[in-house]
Amino acid sequence: MKIIIYLAFVLAAVTCNETNEQSLDKDKEECIVELSLERDEMAKLDKLDLPPDSNTDFNKLVECISKKMGLMTPNGEIIFPELKELYLEVSKVKNLSKIVQYSYEIFISQILSRCEKQIIDDAEPGKNMILVQRCISNEFENVKRLLPSS
């Protein structure tokens, strides 16, 4: 049972980026235009698994996208319940058994609770979102390391 739960977490980590891909692309394009950002540079940074938090323009892009997706308030605070819902909406997770879904929900809640501490009070909102996403990614990597090698 433990391995099934771990596999569900890894599956969710891999597929979560696919969940809102279309709206993200639309939001991303709108933000690039609204903020007059260099599209090629933003595309390169966006493709990175763990983009840097030191690029001011990319931080602004992340902030804009987060607000459009309803993950951030207008004043730049991350809305953690909405971020949790995003991770729970992964279609492949919804097809798992109820007990695995429940375990995954608890796992996501624990991760978000730990990652919420990554926020820097005086940082740019986009930078904070990147720090939180990096924390979430690291937590999923820790779970992957616990999986038995095949």
In angstroms and rounded to an integer, the radius of gyration of the C-alpha atoms of the chain is 16
Backbone angles phi, psi at 130, to 5 degrees: -65, -45
Three-state SS at 91: helix
Residue 66 has pLDDT above 90, yes or no: yes
104, 8 contact by CB (below 8 A): yes
Mean pLDDT of the chain: 83
Q: Hey, what amino acid is at 72?
A: M
Residue 77 has pLDDT above 90, yes or no: yes
pLDDT band at 120 (very low <50, low <70, confident <90, very high): confident
Query: Where in the chain are the domains?
Result: 2-143
In CATH terms, is domain 2-143 a member of 1.10.238.20? Answer: yes
Relative orientation angle of helices 2-19 and 80-88, to the nearest 10 degrees? 110
Q: Which of residues 11 and 126 earns the better pLDDT score?
A: 126
Residues written for the chain: 150
Residue 144 has pLDDT above 90, yes or no: no
Residue 29 has pLDDT above 70, yes or no: yes
pLDDT of residue 147: 79
- Lowest average pLDDT, out of 74-88, 91-105, 124-138, goes to 91-105
Q: Report, as an integer, the average pLDDT of 13-27.
A: 58
pLDDT of residue 112: 95
